[in-house]
Amino acid sequence: MAVTLDQQLLDILACPSDDHAPLRVGTPDDPDADVLTCTECGRRYPVTDGIPVLLLDEAEHPTDRTTADSP
């Protein structure tokens, strides 16, 4: 199910990281994902019950998943 957030709200929201970049709904791979993706650092913030959780601790960084030495 796609996240439906007001464009007005999206305009206000910004990445809590140092870049403070605007966020976009979904991910490049899955526009319907219940996440907000930072347009700068690529961190993904979960949206719980329609409420964006903009916490760095909760964020998922794409590069965190890429392991140089995979098991």
Mask: binding to Zn ion, 26-55, rule CB under 5 A, as x and -?
A: ------------x-xx--------------
Sign of CA dihedral 28, 42, 62, 48: negative
Distance in Å, CB of 63 to Zn ion, minimum: 12
Nearest-angstrom CA–CA distance, 30 and 20: 22
Q: Do residues 44 and 35 lie in contact, with contact meaning Cβ atoms separated by under 8 Å?
A: yes
Nearer to Zn ion, 19 or 34 (CB): 19
> Smaller CB distance to Zn ion: residue 6 or 18?
18
